[in-house]
Chains A and B, each alone.
Chain A
Amino acid sequence: MTGFQPPVFIPETAIAERVDALARRISADHAGVDDLLLIGVLRGAFIFLGDLARRLTVPCSVDFVALSSYDRGATGSEGVRVVMDVRVEIRGRHVVLVEDIVDSGDTLAFLIHTLEVRRPASLRTCVLARKRGPEGRLARLDYVGFDIPDRWVVGYGLDYDNKFRTLPYIGVVHAPDDD
């Protein structure tokens, strides 16, 4: 990438190891499940999902939801809108929802609610990064890749104004100058 290169926060190798570990746990927790449904939240989760899905040892299907919200920052809670719903029926299915980052947890809570009323056999959540903000009102998370401080992280699917999403590592764009 030309121009500004965000400094590395979590290197590729650390991500790969963590994704491996998550895949082993998810596979173990779903041993015997016939056809696990992975639902990726666009656009941010596609790289994480691409790597995670390939490492699972249980049979799985993949689907996507796309959401739109006003702002991913501090108060982006009200305006969540489903741009694209899942195509498959989830009633009676075992589902893992795959998300790139959880900040306030409002978006994920909205999704969990939206999906749970369809009565899946089980619904678990897997996020690559969980942000520890000043007041985290966190949705229930079953699998967490990394707990990270309240900084703007980019790469591996995460973006800043749609940029840096395809960096192979997780970097930081502008770190707050406290701690």
Chain B
Amino acid sequence: MTINADAPLPPVLLSERQIAERVDQLARQISADHAGVDDLLLVGVLRGAFIFLADLARRLTIPTTIDFMALSHYEHGSAPSGAVRLVMDLRIPIAGRSVLLVEDIVDSGETLSYLRRMLEARGPASLKICALTRKPDRLTSDVRVDYVGFDIPDAWVVGYGLDFDNKFRSLPYIGVFTPPAGRG
């Protein structure tokens, strides 16, 4: 993918091959941990998780159903910690079901903590969280993430679903983006 002449491609942090291998491992682990589950409900968090979910879901060896949630962050941190606006809720009731929430990135963990509380209140049989990336240096919440693809440094990462201002989301790898203001 080329952006344009004055916006070079973000340098690679995690290559396509590294991601594919890790997604394979995660899928094996998740399948093993849910062996015997009749119909695991995968919940993708839009928009960032759709590529990760597409690859992960195809590699699972247990029967699954897919649903999505879309979130929107409040501006300027005026909301209570981690609170987000639900643009689209799940269509499927999760009471009594085994659920795996699939996220692209865990930053502070506050949003994920909020999501976990919200979903747990609906009484699923089990609720686990799978995140492609996590930034340990940014964590302020002790939210439990059951499956983590990669712990990454505190940089702006793009690609494989992750974006900067909605750009670079469809890069097949994960790169590091330096916002224009930082160019000096």
- Residues on A facing B (Cβ under 8 Å): 1-3, 34-35, 38, 40, 42-43, 46-47, 49-51, 53-64, 66, 68, 83-84, 87-88, 162-163, 165-168
- Check A163–B65 contact: CB distance below 8 A: yes
Q: 28 pairs across A/B with beta carbons < 8 Å?
A: A1-B62, A2-B61, A2-B62, A35-B167, A42-B68, A43-B66, A43-B68, A46-B53, A49-B54, A53-B51, A60-B169, A61-B166, A62-B50, A62-B169, A64-B46, A64-B50, A64-B68, A66-B68, A66-B88, A84-B70, A84-B87, A87-B87, A88-B166, A162-B65, A165-B57, A165-B64, A165-B66, A166-B64
Known interface pairs A59-B2, A61-B166. Does A54 touch B51 (Cβ–Cβ under 8 Å)? yes
Q: How far is the CA of A56 from the CA of B92 in the complex (A)?
A: 33
A contact face: mostly helix, strand, loop, or mixed = mixed
Given the contacts A46-B53, A59-B1, A87-B87, A166 and B167 also touching, CB distance less than 8 Å? no
Contact residues in A for B54 (Cβ distance below 8 Å): 46-47, 49-51
Does the CB pair B88–A167 fall under 8 Å? no
**CB proximity of B5 to chain A, nearest CB, Å:** 12
Q: Which residues on the A side are within 8 Å of B44 (C-beta)?
A: 46
Task: Give every chain A residue within 8 A of B92 (Cβ-Cβ).
Answer: 162
| Residue contact B51 to A1, C-beta cutoff 8 Å | no
- Complex interface: chain A residues within 8 A of B169 (CB): 53, 60-62
Q: A53-B51, A54-B171 are in contact. Are A166 and B166 (CB under 8 A)?
A: no
Cβ 8 A contact of A54, one of B58, B59, B166, B172: B172
A56–B170 contact, CB under 8 A?
yes
